Amino acid sequence: MPMDEQPTDFSEIHTSVMLERTLELLGPALGAPGAVLVDCTLGLGGHAEAFLRAFPELHLVGLDRDPNALRLAGERLAPFADRIDLVHCVYDEIDEALESLGIDAVEGILFDLGISSMQVDQVERGFSYSKDAPLDMRMDDTAEFTAAEIIATYSEADLRRIFRDYGEEKLADRYARHIVAERANGPILRSGRLVEIIQAATPAKFSHSGHPAKRVFQALRIEVNAELAVLERAIPLAIDALVVGGRIVVLAFQSLEDRIVKREFQARASSTAPAGLPVELPQHRPELKLLVRGAELADDEERARNPRAIPVRLRAAEKIRRIA
């Protein structure tokens, strides 16, 4: 390391959400020598580092679609280099990643969903509506599809659809209409210009209900990165990868993600026996046992200390039966 280059202070750029609770829930599955934990959203490696310190014989597989995150996490986790494998992939490729490493099944799986604080803080990536930047929003900056392309090429109906479905935006029709009208006057390439259009299209009576661009930017980010489609594929694959007794924890930060996780967990934690069957046959027994009641929130102390924890919804389950 050059004399004038200081090591990255990760505590200054990211605080892991519900870290102690995540350790508590996954811990019972990770104590045996050779246990494997898959961190499907490695990010800056905050959760990963805590698990590697807490379980000296744990092997960690870290997945992330963002090459910059993998590079920084590799720096952070360098002291554990002999116990980690970092893989550049989207988390719906978990089965392929494990197969490439010769791993048949794992004891623990963690998802910390959504955008990372690092990605928001890198202004040039265009995730934030509060700072002017190119309309990019790619979590993997080696991919080609950007938010600018959506704004330039999607029909008014498709813009309306993603704003409504992915942003839960009440003014989806109005915003889509104004964007299509404005792009006829010239390309919309920067976040600042898009924010101006949205603000101009927002009726005064809505001006006090949060930043008008928040939900539009969320919708664009989800569409650019196919986040919900990826999650719908990933959760079943992750559950399938668990050994019996293995555990999965998912941290979701918005209702659309949490709904997908809730649906899959509840389906796999329910008996498949037909109604009226007098005896539940083994093949109908639930595959999962839910470890928390509903979706668990961060406590008041953490919410006050770390505002990013305010929207989090945690769900956790244990694999109790393997389906052949």
Q: What local confidence, expressed as pLDDT, does residue 191 receive? A: 94
pLDDT for 125 equals 62
Is residue 112 marked as binding? yes
Residue whose entry in the numeric block shows the structure tokens 């505590």: 11
Q: Is 91 labelled as part of a ligand binding site?
A: yes
Residue 211 domain-assigned (yes or no): yes
Tokens 């952070």: give the residue. Answer: 76
In a domain, 324, yes or no: no
Contact 25, 46 (CB under 8 A): no
* Residue 323: per-residue pLDDT: 79
**Are 85 and 103 part of one and the same domain?**
yes
Distance between CA atoms of 191 and 320, rounded to whole angstroms?
47
Whole-number pLDDT of residue 280? 65
Reported as a single tens digit per residue, the pLDDT across 261-307 is 999 999 999 976 676 666 666 676 899 999 999 999 999 999 999 88
Q: What's the confidence (pLDDT) of residue 23? A: 97
Say if 2 falls within a structural domain.
Answer: no
pLDDT in tens, 219-265: 999 999 999 999 999 999 999 999 999 999 999 999 999 999 999 99
- CATH number assigned to the domain comprising residue 32: 3.40.50.150
Flag whether 1 is in a domain.
no
Collapsed DSSP state (helix, strand, coil) of residue 44: coil
**Predicted local distance difference test score (pLDDT) of residue 119:** 54
| Distance from C-alpha of 172 to C-alpha of 215, rounded to nearest angstrom | 9
Pairing of strands 84-88, 106-112: unpaired
Residue 129 known to bind ligand = no
Q: Are residues 182 and 261 in the same domain?
A: no
Asked whether 308 and 15 are in contact (CB, 8 A), the reply is yes
156 and 37 within one domain: no
pLDDT at residue 2, rounded to an integer: 45
Angstrom CA distances, 58 to 38, 46, 135, 260, stand at 11, 16, 40, 29
Q: Which domain holds residue 274?
A: 10-118+227-319
H and E: helices and strands count for the chain:
14, 7
Tell me whether residue 64 is annotated as binding. Answer: yes
Q: Is there a binding annotation on residue 284? A: no
pLDDT at 4: 47
Model pTM? 0.89
Residues of the chain with pLDDT under 50: 1-6, 123
Our count of domains for the chain comes to 2
Beta strands in the chain (DSSP E): 36-39, 59-64, 84-88, 106-112, 242-252, 288-290, 313-319
45 appears as a binding residue in the annotation: yes
